[in-house]
Amino acid sequence: MKGLRVKIQTFQFDKLRTFLILISLFITLVMTTKNAHAQSSDTSAFDKTLENAFSTTTLPGYSLALVKDGELVEVRAGGKISLAGDTPITPETPMQIGSVSKSFAALAIMQLVEAGKLELDTPIENYLPEFTDKAAGSITLRQAMSHTSGLSTLQGNQTQTDLSMDSEALARRVTDLSNVTPELQPGQAFMYSNANYQIVGRIIELVSGTSYADYVQSKILMPLTMTDSYVIGGNEKNGSALGHLPWFGSQDPIESLLMGAGSSPQGGVVTTATDLSKYAIVMMNQKDDIISAQNKRLMMSPVSEAVSHYGLGWSIYPPLGLVWHNGSNPGFQAQLSMNPETQDAFVFIANGGNSYGFNEISAVGFNLTLEAMQLEGPKGGGGILSKAVFVAATLLPFLLIFIAFRNWQKREKMAQHSSLRRWFVTLTYTLIAALSCWALFVSIPLMFGIPLDALQLFVPDWSLILHAIVFTSIVLAMVRIGLMIGVKRT
């Protein structure tokens, strides 16, 4: 963990000079950025959406695949493996797919259920001895797979910065989870939590007698001839794309892996658009193969009447007949959408990190899905509003420092103001500082379910902005309090 903090701090300070330059030229630079990945002048809505993605975000590269009637009809790719080099991305370039990986873990569980080694409604304490007589011990496999275990998003993200790659990484995480009390009663409600799939992955290891990565490789990837795919913590393939982290309207390549083996069940599959389309075709084919057709339908059906939007490892959107999942790892975005009735599917994978404002890459995948699958729905992305919020938040620390400086310049005039006015202004600045601290350290982690160290991993630009706002608001309050003390002494 100490090494990770040093790496993160080095990342921030190495980029600080760039950050200061970007502030003064921010809007101009973004608006004049050249599209290095110009597409053909095709007039289709799909191609226009793809062209727009490169002009409105700093998308480093992508691969995509379209399946119609159970057949792969189109695969394409664009951009670079790394913005620091010139190697192009191809449809066979492996990229991380984040939480789309959860369906692989759920599929592995269903295989073990069919083999008679697991039961979906058996409490996990039957498979994990460390959960015996613990608050989370009564969670069932079905509840874990459907995110109805009661474990929260924040509880599931506490270990995002654990980058351990040893064979016991997942076991340690699950042992720690045995001491966590679910925020809700198991089965009470839906709460998305990565902790659920860490538990699922560990059960797969114990029941199968092999590592999670080896199980998925041998029982899912190989049988489906996903030859360019692997699982983090297993045998890595050459030629994988580098992830890129959002940084003030740009994307910076990540030279090292920002995911540990303990995260593999929740987001560790690395695959290609071509391979992922093979997976989608098999999941939609209504045949008994990798698992039975009946259990495929079970996975892609609502887990209960109360939770109609999630099955076992899959999100569900009945109005459009969609079964889908998106994924976000540090530096990567992905989305896989399927219509099991028509056997149509669309795959989108990108090696760029998602960030609110100028790098809304998740919206790119969503919008392309709508166009490729000819679906009606509102387009994603915050548009000009999200960009305005980003710019305003970026400039706010400078405004606070300017106000503090002006207060210091006018310190001799403070004595001429009424006591009520002096106290009101000072208390206002102090309240702003207190609220900014509360927002950063309490509200944001609870609202978005992400601890601050994980926020740094995914969106370093926003992490720096938020910390800068807190720091400068405290400076402003301290300057004002200091001036108040000076006035009293005189």
| Start-to-end Cα distance in the chain | 49
Q: Is residue 7 domain-resident? A: no
pLDDT at 58: 81
CA atoms within 13 A on the CB side of 479: 20
168 within a domain of the structure (yes/no): yes
Token pair belonging to 451? 């601890």
CATH number at residue 276: 3.40.710.10
Q: What angle do CA 141, 142, 147 make, to 5 degrees?
A: 100
- CA separation for the pair 80, 60 (Å, rounded): 6
Residues 302, 395: one domain? no
> What gap in Å lies between CA 400 and CA 414, rounded to an integer?
19
**Listed ranges 43-47, 213-217, 425-429; the one with the highest mean pLDDT:** 213-217
Range of the domain at 369: 62-381
The per-residue pLDDT for 198 is 98
- Of 314, 346, 381, the residue that ends a domain is 381
Strand partners of residue 355: 359
Q: Are strands 230-231 and 269-271 parallel, antiparallel or unpaired?
A: antiparallel
Q: Are residues 273 and 156 in the same domain?
A: yes
pLDDT of amino acid 488: 63
Structure confidence by residue, pLDDT tens digits, 255-291: 888 999 999 999 999 999 999 999 999 999 999 999 9
Is a pLDDT exceeding 60 seen at residue 326?
Answer: yes
Residue 484 forms part of a structural domain: yes
DSSP codes, 249-262: TEEEE--S----GG
The amino acid present at 282, given as its one-letter code, is V
CA distance 195 to 182: 10
pLDDT digits (tens, 9 = 90+) for 33-47: 333 333 333 347 778
Residue 5: the pLDDT is 45
300, two tokens: 């892609």
Residues 111, 219: contact at Cβ < 8 Å?
Answer: yes
Q: Which position has the token pair 């990567």?
A: 332
Residue 403 has pLDDT above 80, yes or no: yes
Both 157 and 196 in one domain: the answer is yes
Task: Give Cβ neighbours of residue 6 (< 8 Å, ≥ 6 apart).
Answer: none
Residues 203 and 86 in one domain: yes
Number of domains forming the structure of the chain: 2
Is the residue at 57 inside a domain? no
Q: Mean pLDDT, to the nearest integer, of 107-116?
A: 98
